[in-house]
Amino acid sequence: MHKKIFLLFGCFCFLSNAQETITTELYDSYDQFKEPSLQKRRIKHHQIQPLIQKFDANPKFEVQKVGESIEGRDLSLISIGSGPINIFLWSQMHGDEPTATQAIFDILNFLNAPKFEKEKREILSKLKLHFLPMVNPDGAEVYQRRNALGIDINRDALRLQSPEGRTLKRIRDSLDAKFGFNLHDQSTYYNAELTNKPATISYLATAYNYEKDINEVRSNAMKVIVYMNNIIQKYAPGQVGRYSDDFEPRAFGDNIAKWGTSLILIESGGYTNDVEKQEIRKLNYVSILSALYTIARESYLDIPIEAYEKIPRNDRKLFDLKIENVTYELLGKDYILDLGIYRQEVDNEDHEDFYYKSTIVDQGDLSTYYGYETFDASGYAIVKPKGMDPYDNPEGEIETNITSKLKLGYAFLYYNGKGNDGEYTKGPMHILKKNIDIGQKFKIKIGHNPTFFLEKDGKLTHAIINGFIIDLGKSIETQKFGNALIYH
């Protein structure tokens, strides 16, 4: 037993020393390779076409049109390397999961640049890399999970009704890839089990049967995941989860593992103050390149798979805002509640941007849950918000008198004039287009928008507007706020 522990420890020391230089340099030099034309999540098919054309004109790369989406958008495969081992990486089979799509173009820029010649030579002489950066361009166009047919491509591995799914299957089969990287985004509300830390990156070596057996194909995926986990721990300590390995017979990942490719699922989750997931994009870049390096060198083969099971499981116990121990009066009696709030994104009409429409998703004893932001409201009481009479210039009125109005408990402005026909306003006060009795409708209830005030010792101290907390004792301009809503 002592000998086994010593060997295990020695193995990890060797790996950490070997990877230290390359991973640190990859992380530190990332900005040199980051694709500057892709800065936000809601990227469209037309935005990546100039990038694909640039690589098509470069003799280092092979670019092929390998299929079309239902709505006729090209699916392009970008390949580089001369090695005998095929590696297949694909992203955005769900149209609203684009983090790794951006990272793929960062990786391609890296492979094209003159730096890291020794490491790239080792990778590209042993491996041939194949990238399919946007499997579901129709879904990406409207920032939705499913394709134009309304199906989940990742549940189409058996029936193969979608042209996108048929393309994915055909490429996998033609390459007979040794490793496959299935790149996704997951909910930002996942945390690493039993911790308050988000599952910024989650990994999975997919099962190929209901029994979750481990053969050499799956074992190799586990080993590479252990290697990648060690890397991520350096930059996001404690923020790695292990995705559920329940077998899904319709899913591509599970079937690709069944067909003989070591399948590594990477899910990009949440990271504090990283709304556009640019830090998570960077972590994808560093960990995927480091994984390719260990595959090329075959150093992953010495990693014990027991370490895979030590990665914490994914859990889903995070809120954007958690308010603890707040006093809520109902029918003349006081109760102590915790509130769990999601700041849910709603796409604008053109799917280029979004606004927040927050919701209370749970209340009661939430002591086993966590928040990206947590406020201990012990000794604070909930106070219902008030509405203001109409003004000729509501936006100007809000900007001029917002602090004084909030301190008086006003969260709603009734305005029946022209303008303000959208769905949200940047000022921290809701706008009502119809005169509604706010007090009558107010209730702390799951599904309701979290807008109320907190009072302590008879004084209003905080405003919660659309799920964002504002300290009334501080300048509003210095505090994080998303938007308020316009009620028509």
Return the residue matching tokens 């949440």: 270
Domain check: are 183 and 281 in the same one? yes
Range 94-119 burial, b when 16+ CB lie within 10 A, else e: bbbbbbbbbbbbbbbbbbeeeebeeb
Query: How does the average pLDDT of the chain come out, rounded?
Result: 93
One-letter identity of residue 127: L
Choosing from 270, 291, 315, the residue where a domain stops is 315
Does pLDDT of 393 surpass 70?
A: no
Domain check: are 18 and 49 in the same one? yes
pLDDT tens per residue across span 374-388:
999 999 999 999 988
Domain check: are 190 and 208 in the same one? yes
Tell me how far apart the terminal alpha carbons of the chain are, to the nearest angstrom. 69
> Tell me, what CATH number does 427's domain have?
2.30.40.10
The candidate with the shortest Cα–Cα distance to 275, out of 398, 419, 372, 409, is 372
Tell me what pLDDT residue 2 has: 38
Total domains, the chain: 2
Domain check: are 306 and 340 in the same one? no
Q: What angle do CA 139, 70, 265 make, to 5 degrees?
A: 50
How far from chain centre, in Å, is Cα 336? Answer: 33
Tell me what pLDDT residue 419 has: 63
% of the chain with per-residue pLDDT over 90: 86
d(CA 318, CA 360): 13
- Mean pLDDT over residues 294-307, rounded? 96
Domain check: are 153 and 290 in the same one? yes
Question: Quick check: 314 and 244 in contact, CB under 8 A?
Answer: yes
Domain check: are 454 and 333 in the same one? yes
Domain check: are 332 and 228 in the same one? no
Cross-strand bridge partners of residue 425: 484
DSSP E strands, 389-432? 410-414, 424-425, 430-432
Cross-strand bridge partners of residue 1: none
Residue 390 per-residue DSSP state: P
Tell me what pLDDT residue 50 has: 98
Residue 13, both tokens? 């020391």
**440 confidence band (pLDDT: 50, 70, 90):** confident
Domain check: are 109 and 231 in the same one? yes
d(CA 119, CA 107): 13
d(CA 296, CA 291): 9
Does pLDDT of 295 surpass 70?
A: yes
Tell me what pLDDT residue 10 has: 40
- Mean pLDDT over residues 77-101, rounded? 98
Choosing from 298, 315, 332, the residue where a domain stops is 315
pLDDT tens per residue across span 140-187:
999 999 999 999 999 999 999 999 999 999 999 999 999 999 999 999
Return the residue matching tokens 């949200």: 424
Tell me what pLDDT residue 420 has: 65
Pairing of the two strands 424-425 and 484-487: antiparallel
Domain check: are 280 and 392 in the same one? no
pLDDT tens per residue across span 301-351:
999 999 999 999 999 999 999 999 999 999 999 999 999 999 999 999 999
Tell me what pLDDT residue 21 has: 76
Question: Quick check: 52 and 63 in contact, CB under 8 A?
Answer: yes
Does pLDDT of 401 surpass 80?
A: no
Residue range of the domain that includes 377:
318-487
Residue 279 per-residue DSSP state: H
> Tell me, what CATH number does 94's domain have?
3.40.630.10
pLDDT tens per residue across span 204-222:
999 999 999 999 999 999 9
Tell me what pLDDT residue 284 has: 98
Domain check: are 296 and 436 in the same one? no
Domain check: are 291 and 380 in the same one? no
Does pLDDT of 416 surpass 50?
A: yes
Q: What is the DSSP string of 291-311?
A: HHHHHHHTGGGGS-GGGGGGS
% of the chain with per-residue pLDDT over 70: 92
Choosing from 286, 315, 344, the residue where a domain stops is 315
Domain check: are 227 and 335 in the same one? no
Question: Quick check: 319 and 370 in contact, CB under 8 A?
Answer: yes
- Mean pLDDT over residues 362-371, rounded? 98
- Least confident piece of the model among 91-95, 304-308, 434-438, 457-461: 434-438
